[in-house]
Structure 1
């Protein structure tokens, strides 16, 4: 049996590794001509690192990243509003939360796969049903016969459009800038993620390796913000702590990437016959919980376990049963957090901040537990 995976993102590569470790042959088709690291970081939360521990990748990832033991919400001046202590989960699950360059992580995953697994310059143009399965037609004119297909091709998945043409992408009316800069952070920030909330905007930063910082900035869009992508980012954050302005000014502008934020309206079905969606193709979410890639990593491990035990179409049903409820809940929660974070009314902002400051630490811990706990890990292993 061979599983054909469309998309060499974090989820698709993790799935390929898990399947190859089980002795199941895979082929991963990626539209890019080469794998180039873009200027973005990623936080591999506790749930993602639990999976990478199972796959034997924890040590390699820890060696190239930076451990994070606290996730904080602050005011624009970096005065704390809410603190999420991660040390409890580090002790409970025996893994740390790791901030790492996305390109570095991608290369770690690629290096774990046989050279023949990854096919670059394969942008899928069309999928057709055949008597024996499916025909995949790529932009490079190559045509592949496939029997079992996993769509890991992101929020704009061509395969999802083929299976579920009525699926809906929702714009959040927010823009996100991302950058990486060589910067010596004050020591107190080096093992924390801090996200500063201001009026209609946010700014987050985290160290991803020694003297290298990943930052992201979000701003609510108005109807007339057609040129916001080209605007001076620093101008939107001039009232923030000087550290924020220093991070922006120290970054090469040519390496700052921007994109409008969107998610996928939660779906009730991810598969049909021998085709299954995973990751952003199935449940793309806004980045407000930092769980997009982490949920794709959860998908990869559980989907591989199901494929290893069941006939493919049954495996896809089992996978959906195990993962759909949690993934869709994270999508909905992330969307709600984004709306709360971008309040613009000063009174509403004050009430929000006051409520967050008095919220017991036990509530924060319970909310994180719901995200970090992967009850199906043991179930999948037993299966």
Structure 2
């Protein structure tokens, strides 16, 4: 049985590894011309690290990244509004949240799978179903597969061709992401910070011994000049402006924040969707890639139970959809609340954050970190 995974991002790579552990024949088709350490940072939350532990690569990821033991939401001056300690979950599940460069994570996964199983510069053009599936790529090459897994992102060609569903939603927010060598930022080690202001927020985390990953999210109506991010954060703590100004321009990426309106079907026959192709979320819970990694885990687990492909895909959809949609919907709400512009609404929000008991935050974390399927 030949399995084609369309897309070599974190979700596609992890799925390939999970299926290889079951001795399945997997080939990845990736549209990019090379797998290299580009992009920004990412936090692999406890749920994702549990999966990597089961796949035998937790220590490689931990060594390449930076352990995160608490998550702080602050006001613009970095005064704490909420501080979630993760030691309870570290003890319970035996893993830590890890912040890492996205490119470093992809290279670890690709090396584990074997580069010979990854075909680059393969952008999918057409899927045709005969006794199996015929894949035609934009470069004119053709491949055949018995099974297709669409891991090709929010604008998934697999989803559009096989299921013909999916509405993209614009959040009305822009996001800048940057990575810089900031040796002075060691005081923030092992912490993830997110500072909430009026219609804007700024988050940052160390991703290895040298580098800090930061992101800035701003309501579009407040953006006058996308090339002058600094002017939008002049009323934030001086360290925020310093992080932005000390980041080389070529290391800053800007994008719109969009998600996928939840869809009720992720599979058809011997084709299924994972990750952003199935349930793209806004980044407000730090769970986009983590949910794709859970998809990979569940698919690997089900294939390991000796079920047919059709049984695996139906059960995968049933097991994963509720949680994935919870993440999408909750993340969208957080995106709105964290971007209030009205002064009274901001004061009420911050007061509520400060008065929320730790037990409430921990209960939400437990819901996210639990991967008992």
Deviation at 1:165?
2.2
- How far apart, in 2, do the equivalents of 1:185 and 1:294 lie? 30
2:161 is the counterpart of 1:165: no
2:243 is the counterpart of 1:247: yes
- How far apart, in 2, do the equivalents of 1:211 and 1:35 lie? 22
Residues 45, 98 of structure 1: 8 Å contact kept: yes
Deviation at 1:188?
3.6
Residues 174, 220 of structure 1: 8 Å contact kept: yes
Cα deviation, 1:278-324, whole Å, max 9, x if unaligned, reads: 00000000000000000000000111222232111111001011111
Residues 176, 217 of structure 1: 8 Å contact kept: yes
SS in 2 for 1:214: strand
| Unaligned runs of at least 5 residues, structure 1 | 377-383
Residues 234, 245 of structure 1: 8 Å contact kept: yes
Which position in structure 2 is the counterpart of 1:279?
275
Which position in structure 2 is the counterpart of 1:354?
351
Partner residue of 2:320 out of 299, 323, 345? 323
Which position in structure 2 is the counterpart of 1:191?
190
Which position in structure 2 is the counterpart of 1:381?
none
Which position in structure 1 is the counterpart of 2:229?
233
Deviation at 1:371?
0.2
Which position in structure 2 is the counterpart of 1:48?
48
Residues 149, 275 of structure 1: 8 Å contact kept: yes
- How far apart, in 2, do the equivalents of 1:252 and 1:199 lie? 26
Shifted more, 95-104 versus 182-191: the winner is: 182-191
Deviation at 1:96?
0.5
Cα deviation, 1:353-373, whole Å, max 9, x if unaligned, reads: 001100000000001000001
- How far apart, in 1, do the equivalents of 2:113 and 2:293 lie? 16
Cα deviation, 1:95-142, whole Å, max 9, x if unaligned, reads: 000000000000000110133210001000111222x12211101111
Deviation at 1:38?
2.0
Deviation at 1:84?
1.1
SS in 1 for 2:99: strand
2:257 is the counterpart of 1:258: no
Deviation at 1:186?
4.2
Cα deviation, 1:232-255, whole Å, max 9, x if unaligned, reads: 011111110000000001100122
Cα deviation, 1:196-237, whole Å, max 9, x if unaligned, reads: 011110100000011310000000112x95x75x42011111
Deviation at 1:185?
4.1
Which position in structure 2 is the counterpart of 1:24?
24
Residues 307, 316 of structure 1: 8 Å contact kept: no
**TM-score, normalised to structure 1's length?**
0.95
- How far apart, in 1, do the equivalents of 2:198 and 2:362 lie? 27
Cα deviation, 1:165-207, whole Å, max 9, x if unaligned, reads: 2311111011100000000244441110000011110100000
Which position in structure 2 is the counterpart of 1:111?
111
Which position in structure 1 is the counterpart of 2:219?
220
Q: Describe how 1:331-350 pairs up with structure 2 within 5 A.
A: 331-350=328-347
Alpha-carbon spacing, 1:185–1:318, altered in 2? closer, same or farther (3 Å): farther
Which position in structure 1 is the counterpart of 2:39?
39
- How far apart, in 2, do the equivalents of 1:114 and 1:361 lie? 43
Which position in structure 2 is the counterpart of 1:4?
4
- How far apart, in 2, do the equivalents of 1:60 and 1:165 lie? 39
Residues 99, 207 of structure 2: 8 Å contact kept: yes
Deviation at 1:330?
0.5
Shifted more, 106-115 versus 93-102: the winner is: 106-115
Deviation at 1:18?
1.1
Shifted more, 148-157 versus 107-116: the winner is: 107-116
Cα deviation, 1:52-102, whole Å, max 9, x if unaligned, reads: 000000110111100000111000000011111111100100000000000
Residues 185, 211 of structure 1: 8 Å contact kept: no
**TM-score, normalised to structure 2's length?**
0.98
- How far apart, in 1, do the equivalents of 2:185 and 2:158 lie? 46
Residues 180, 251 of structure 2: 8 Å contact kept: no
- How far apart, in 2, do the equivalents of 1:299 and 1:198 lie? 34
Q: Which aligned runs of 4 or more in structure 1 are off by greater than 4 angstroms?
A: none
Deviation at 1:36?
2.6
